[in-house]
Amino acid sequence: MVLGACAEMQEAPDAAPTLGPPLQRFSADGRISLRQGERRDHLRFHWEHTAGSDVVLLMSPLGQGLAELARDAGGARLTQPNQPIIAADTLPQLAQRVFGAPLPLEAMADWLRGARPALSGEVDGWRVVVSETSAYRQHRLLRIIEARREDVEFKLIVDDWDVQDE
């Protein structure tokens, strides 16, 4: 009976899976892993998105707040406890300042909200793949997205969605 229920949930083999329709307002909770060479970092995140802004709270695996990444019409900012705020006009410029590399943050945000329906692509030399999706109400949302460039691997896993209909 369990196998039969799983078979009913699979998509037709000739249907090309895509993300969408795009979300205008959501919050998502999950995990991030980042590997660069031998270094590995693991974080938790809480992401709030509206049409005009994104706020991402980055936390340790145990839930301690480490940093807040924000984007709105005024630009992008990284706020960390007891540190000066780091600001830039765009998310890629902020990533360049903080990490020394233009991480594909805006493109990944578009994939997260379903505004890029294709499940893979290349952005600024990063190979990005949505490796798992899930159905949520009338939307097809990503569950796991991975990005690779040279010796850097980034993986974002969404554990919980809350979509606010507008």
Give residue-wise pLDDT tens across range 49-80. 998 999 999 999 998 999 999 999 999 999 99
Per-residue pLDDT at 11 = 41
- Residue 142, both tokens: 């990503």
**Close Cβ partners of 51 (under 8 Å, ≥ 6 residues apart):** 24, 25
CATH architecture assigned to 20-163: Clam (2.50)
Q: Which residues of the chain have pLDDT under 70?
A: 1-17, 101-102, 165-166
Domain assignments of the chain as residue spans, ordered by start: 20-163
- Residue 140, both tokens: 């097809």
**Close Cβ partners of 114 (under 8 Å, ≥ 6 residues apart):** 19, 20, 21, 22, 23, 139, 140, 141, 142
Per-residue pLDDT at 103 = 76
Per-residue pLDDT at 83 = 94
Per-residue pLDDT at 16 = 54
- Residue 10, both tokens: 């699979």
Per-residue pLDDT at 2 = 40
What is the model's pTM? 0.82
